């Protein structure tokens, strides 16, 4: 069996930091706004800054603004001791004990994904880490999940995704794999109704197992 984890909002409660760091960078550019950041959860950070440049006429490149925001987010994460969702480490331990192959499939850039996995001390648990730098099309396109499956040699019938955002769920389903939609309270405003399964806690992932088989397992 194979599990592919989204990162933001699944491995770490980072969505509030994304929102605050975006607002802080905008303020440093002279823009004061109360825009709702929940609408961009799961989407491309680079695209966000491209849109902000157009919207507010910012005199900067999207690439540089993204780098500034990522550096600020990582600083916030370490300074404020940002936590993973409750039950994450126990879930990883249980899955490893079952021989489950695990991977990360995130739209975030490698410059954020690697520091987060290092900060949490879980990088070695994953057979593959696919980031937004590795594909042409980010979520909700299926590219990230398709590449992650390719890198771990996964069969679709024995693979599941774990996501906290509407765009992430769409990406997993588009890749032809079932998706567990995790309603993380730190990732607000997400419509997970299309998810194959719904959970409110990572500890509930193991409830999707019946005996020696997962609910989605075939063959």
Structure tokens at 38: 């929940």
Annotation marks residue 59 as catalytic: no
pLDDT over 90 percentage in the chain:
88
Q: For domain 2-13+83-214, which architecture applies?
A: 3-Layer(aba) Sandwich (3.40)
pLDDT tier for residue 39 given thresholds of 50, 70 and 90: confident
Q: What is the pLDDT of residue 40?
A: 81
- Averaged over 33-62, what is the pLDDT? 88
How many CA atoms lie within 13 Å of 135's alpha carbon, on the beta-carbon side? Answer: 24
φ and ψ of 82, to 5 deg: -55, 135
One of 6, 93, 143, 191 is an active-site residue; which one?
6
Question: pLDDT tens, 2-13?
Answer: 999 999 999 999
| Helices vs. strands in the chain: H and E counts, helices first | 7, 8
One of 8, 155, 191, 200 is an active-site residue; which one?
8
Q: What is the pLDDT of residue 66?
A: 95
Annotation marks residue 6 as catalytic: yes
Task: Report the distance separating Cα 7 and Cα 66, nearest Å.
Answer: 18
Q: What is the pLDDT of residue 219?
A: 56
Every domain of the chain and the residues it spans:
2-13+83-214, 15-79
């Amino acid at each position: 069996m194979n599990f592919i984890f989204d990162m933001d909002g699944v491995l770490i409660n980072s969505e509030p930091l994304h929102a605050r760091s975006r607002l802080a960078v905008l303020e440093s550019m002279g823009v004061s706004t109360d825009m709702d950041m929940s609408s961009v959860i799961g989407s491309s950070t680079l695209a966000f800054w491209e849109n902000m440049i157009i919207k507010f006429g910012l005199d900067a490149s999207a690439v540089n603004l993204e780098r500034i925001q990522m550096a600020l987010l990582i600083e916030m994460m370490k300074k404020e001791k940002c936590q993973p969702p409750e039950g994450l480490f126990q879930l990883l331990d249980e899955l490893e004990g079952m021989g489950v192959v695990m991977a990360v499939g995130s739209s975030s850039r490698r410059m954020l994904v690697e520091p987060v996995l290092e900060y949490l001390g879980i990088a070695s648990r994953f057979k593959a880490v696919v980031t937004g730098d590795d594909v042409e099309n980010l979520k909700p396109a299926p590219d990230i999940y398709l590449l992650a499956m390719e890198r771990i040699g996964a069969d679709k019938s024995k693979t599941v995704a774990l996501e906290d955002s509407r765009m992430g769920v769409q990406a997993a389903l588009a890749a032809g794999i079932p998706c567990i939609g995790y309603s993380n309270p730190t990732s607000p405003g997400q419509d997970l109704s299309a998810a194959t399964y719904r959970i409110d806690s990572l500890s509930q992932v193991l409830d999707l197992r019946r005996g020696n088989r997962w609910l989605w397992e075939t063959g």
